[in-house]
Amino acid sequence: MTQNRRENSPDTYPNLILASASPRRAAILQEHGFNFTVVFPPEDDPSALPANLQPADFAEALSIQKANAVAQKLNDGLLLSGDTVAALGNEIFGKATDREDAERILRAVTAVTHQVITALTLLDAKTGRTMTRHATTAITMRELTDSEMSDYLSTNAWEGKAGAYGIQDHGDAFVEKIEGSFTNVVGLPIELLKEMLDGWIEESGFDATHKV
C-alpha cells in the first residue's frame, strides 16, 4: 500500500546517469542533492515518432527515445531522461526554431491557460527495465504587449525552451498563475522523480542505503 512506502532521500537513491543536454535539469538535480553524471543523447528526430500523438504521449516517446539512445553506449547504470513540451489542447509546442517561430508560439500561449508537460524515463542500462511517467502543470499567462514581446524576443531567452519561454529567466514576469509543479515547468518535476525512484526501489527490492 502507498502509505507503507519507504521514504527515501536523494543521498540514498541510486546514482543516476542524466541522459540530457539540459543545464536546467542538471541544476535541479544538483540543487536537490542527487548524485549523477551526465551523458548527452544524440539529437532527437521527432519526425520519426508516430503521427497524431497526444502531447503527453509525445513527450513520453521522446523521453524514452533519449534514454534508449544513451543506453546503447553503456553496459550498466540507471539512466534518467526527460522531455518537456508546451501544449494548448492537442497542439504541441516544442523548442522554437528561430525568432519568428518563437513569436508564433508565444502569441499562441499568452493570454490563455496552457499546459507544460514533462515526461521522465528511468532505464536500467543492464537489464532494459524501463519506467516512464509524466507531470502536467497549467500555466496562465497574461497578454503581452507588442513592446514586451519584442523586448523578450530580443533577449534570445526563448532559445532551447519548450513553449519559447523559460519561467526561471524572465518568463515568470508574464505568468499570472501556476497550477502544479514549478520544477516541471523548468524541465524536471522533482516530485515526480522522487515518486518514480521510490517506486523503482520498492518494486526491485533495491536497498536504498547501498549506493550503486
Q: What is the DSSP-derived secondary structure letter of residue 162?
A: B
User: Which triple of cell numbers denotes residue 12?
Assistant: 540514498
Higher pLDDT, 191 or 174: 191
Domain annotation covers residue 77: yes
What is the reported pLDDT for 6?
Answer: 53
What is the reported pLDDT for 169?
Answer: 61
Q: Which tens digits make up the pLDDT trace of 191-210? A: 999 999 999 998 876 544 43
Domain annotation covers residue 211: no
Confidence of residue 64 (pLDDT cuts 50, 70, 90): very high
CATH label of the domain that carries residue 96: 3.90.950.10
Number of domains the chain is built from: 1
Give the domain extent around 78: 2-204
Tell me the whole-structure pTM to 2 decimals: 0.87
What is the reported pLDDT for 188?
Answer: 96
C-alpha 210/C-alpha 212 separation (Å) is 7
User: Is 70 exceeded by the pLDDT of residue 172?
Assistant: no
- Determine the average pLDDT of the residues in 63-89: 94
Catalytic residues, which ones?
83
